[in-house]
Amino acid sequence: MFQSQFSQFFPPKPLFTEADVGLQHSKVAKVLYRKGGRVYIAGRSEEKAREALASEASVDAFKTKESRLDILWSNANVSQPPLSSVSKQGIKLQLANCLGPFLFTQLLLSLLEITAAACASTSPGSVRVVWSSSQMMELSAPGGAIVMSEPRHPPKDDATQNYVNSKTGNYLLSAELARQQRQSHLAAPVLSFTSNPGAATTRLFRHKSWLNYLAGPLLYDARLAALKQLYADLSADIGVEQSGCFVDLLEAAKMEKNCGKGKKVREIWEFCEEMTKGYC
- CATH of residue 173: 3.40.50.720
The total of structural domains in the chain comes to 1
In sequence order, the β-bridge partners of residue 92 are: 86
Residue 252: the pLDDT is 39
> For 41, which DSSP code?
-
Q: Which helix (H) or strand (E) holds 174?
A: helix 159-183
Query: Residue 39 sits in which domain range?
Result: 2-279
Residue-by-residue pLDDT tens, the chain, 280 positions? 555 555 656 666 666 776 776 666 666 664 565 666 777 766 656 666 555 444 447 788 888 888 999 999 887 667 777 777 787 788 888 888 889 899 999 999 999 999 999 999 998 999 999 998 887 777 775 565 788 888 888 888 887 888 888 888 998 999 999 999 999 988 899 999 988 877 666 666 665 666 666 666 676 677 777 777 788 888 888 888 889 888 864 443 344 444 555 678 899 999 999 999 888 6
Residue 23: the pLDDT is 66
For 107-177, strand residue ranges (E) read 128-132
Which conformational region is residue 162 in: left (phi greater than 0), alpha (psi within -120 to 50 degrees), or beta? alpha
Length of the chain: 280
Residue 134: the pLDDT is 81
Residue 6: the pLDDT is 59
Residue 250: the pLDDT is 41
* Nearest CA-CA partner of 176 in 118, 249, 113, 263: 263
Q: Measured between alpha carbons, how far is 99 from 91 in angstroms, rounded to an integer?
A: 9
